[in-house]
Chains A and B, each alone.
Chain A
Amino acid sequence: MGDEFESDTVVASGNQDELIMQQQRQIEREISESTALVGDLEPIASLNNEYSNDVVYLEKIKDLASKYKYMRRTRPDGNCFFRAFTYAKLERLLDNKIDFANFYKIVEGSKHALVELGFPQFTVEDFYDTFIDVLKRLGDIKTATDAKKELHTLFNEQGYSDYMVVYLRLLTSGQLQRDQDFYSCFIEGERTVADFCHQEVEPMYKESDHIHIMAACAAMNTGVRVVYMDRGTSKINIEHDLPEGTQPSVHLLYRPGHYDILYL
């Protein structure tokens, strides 16, 4: 009878998993219907609607509005940091042809570096080709305004947008593994840096932490300022520059669990 009992629980837990997955898919569907992958520019004050009864947040939105003019929302699908970061970085680069060309060179050399680290060549090439293809398309457009429009269109096409995210995830993973002596101090538990990358960096929809941001910045040779907005008691939002002391070229707004893009 022991056997019968066991098989019953297995079936039951299978159904449970299935229910959870179903619910998760439902939530994902609702999110994707209501939020664009990368939204349009909005004034900072648009945040007020979300917190109309929340004194702490309203105070912080005021503080935010004194420093930033606009924000751009991204879809909260676990890829928000990578999507926001890549979008904001490229958007910024489109204003300066020289910076853009330098960045292009960094990306060109990155595929070989990833393959050398042991990433599967066949698939890395697939993601790299799309990434470079997008850069080429943007670089070929004459005016920055038109190029930014194209950037916005491409980042709202699921196929391209996700491919950009995957490649940045791979670059971040590569950076972590290349510098693993340094990053291993930031990983909790018994996991190796490689394990961490396989479980938390390379899979899609996995949320990003401090360590992801540090490695992504290093890989893209860029600095980012993250403005933290939460229920903490101070009236001012805490700002963090990564890596410390650099002039940030990308500004992101962090609210627990989610990143959006900020504009000065």
Chain B
Amino acid sequence: MSAQTQYNLKSPGVKRLMREACELAEPTDEYFATPLEDNLFEWHFTVRGPPNTEFEDGLYHGRILLPSQYPMQPPNIILLTPNGRFETNKKICLSISGHHPESWQPSWSIRTALLALIAFMPTSAAGTIGSLDYTKEERQVLAKKSKNWECNICGKILNKLSNNSAIKTLTKEESSLLSQIALKTEDETNTSENNDNELRHRTVNSVENRIDTEFVVFSEVQSQKDKLWSLVVWLLVFTITLLIIRRFFFV
């Protein structure tokens, strides 16, 4: 990190991020994250899909945007690799499930956020904004494809994680913690007035375009399904109207 001098090294938040960068410097079997060379407040990460799920063997890459108030405020996670569970290029916020959506805790860290992300991939999308409800098969196809995915900053993601599968067991505190955390996604366009994050905006348009083309195939499958549904709906509407009209004539 040659650009260290641009940050106020006395600021506890900056110190914290540097500490986290050291802690996460070695790739693990499950996750790897590192700050961009020129921006301590934007990180890129790779996580492995959880075993025994449709995401098994998948490798998913994304961005972590850190607010200037980190760790008082939560990191924002954005997935870049199509995965069928979370929309790409949208912020996923870490929060406590349901009742207390704003309860991020400063004693959580980027590592906690990544573990939560992995833990939440197999959970049901349940209609939350930014979640995708792809079928198991579609997700498996995406998981296979994900290995060839490339980030325009980090390059090929295939070798980002260590293959040493000496399973690192979670500490008791970590697993109880993960049970409290839920993920919700937030529309990035809606939150763009959050200037803090905009400061650290980077052009990722080229990445986005590539994802879009990759996505066309799958959205076609989706749109065919949609057509079928609307056909059924229209048919129902048509029959109901017919029945109503019929009633009028019988009276």
Contacts and interface: CB of A to CB of B under 8 A. Distances in A.
A binds B: yes
Interface of A: 1, 3-4, 6-7, 10-11, 14-15, 18, 22, 25, 118-120, 122-124, 126-127, 130, 158-160, 162-163, 166, 170, 198-199, 202-204, 206
A127 B106 CA distance: 9
Given A15-B190, A118-B172, A159-B12, A198 B229 contact: no
B85 to A, nearest CB: 17
25 contacts: A3-B229, A14-B187, A18-B187, A22-B193, A118-B173, A119-B107, A120-B173, A120-B174, A120-B177, A122-B109, A122-B111, A123-B107, A126-B15, A130-B12, A159-B11, A162-B69, A166-B72, A166-B106, A198-B96, A199-B96, A202-B105, A202-B106, A204-B72, A204-B73, A206-B103
B105 A203 contact: yes
Interface in B99-154: 99-100, 102-109, 111-112, 127-129
Given A120-B173, A203-B105, A160 B190 contact: no
A34 to B, nearest CB: 19
B105 A119 contact: no
Contacts of B129: 10-11, 14
Contacts of A10: 127-129
B127 A126 contact: no
Nearest to B194: A25
Nearest to A162: B72
A31 B109 CA distance: 28
Interface of B: 10-13, 15-16, 19, 23, 69, 71-73, 96, 99-100, 102-109, 111-112, 127-129, 171-174, 176-177, 180, 186-187, 190-191, 193-194, 229, 233, 236-237
Contacts, number: 87
A198 B180 contact: yes
A123 B71 contact: yes
Given A7-B127, A170-B107, A202-B106, 17 more contacts: A4-B233, A14-B129, A14-B187, A25-B194, A122-B111, A123-B109, A126-B15, A127-B107, A158-B69, A162-B72, A162-B106, A166-B72, A198-B96, A198-B105, A202-B105, A203-B102, A203-B104
Contacts of A158: 69
Contact of A159 (B13, B171, B236): B13
Contacts of B11: 159
Contacts of A163: 12
The 6 closest A-B pairs by CB, nearest first: A118-B173, A123-B107, A203-B103, A159-B12, A159-B11, A163-B12
B87 to A, nearest CB: 13
Given A120-B173, A199-B100, A166 B107 contact: yes
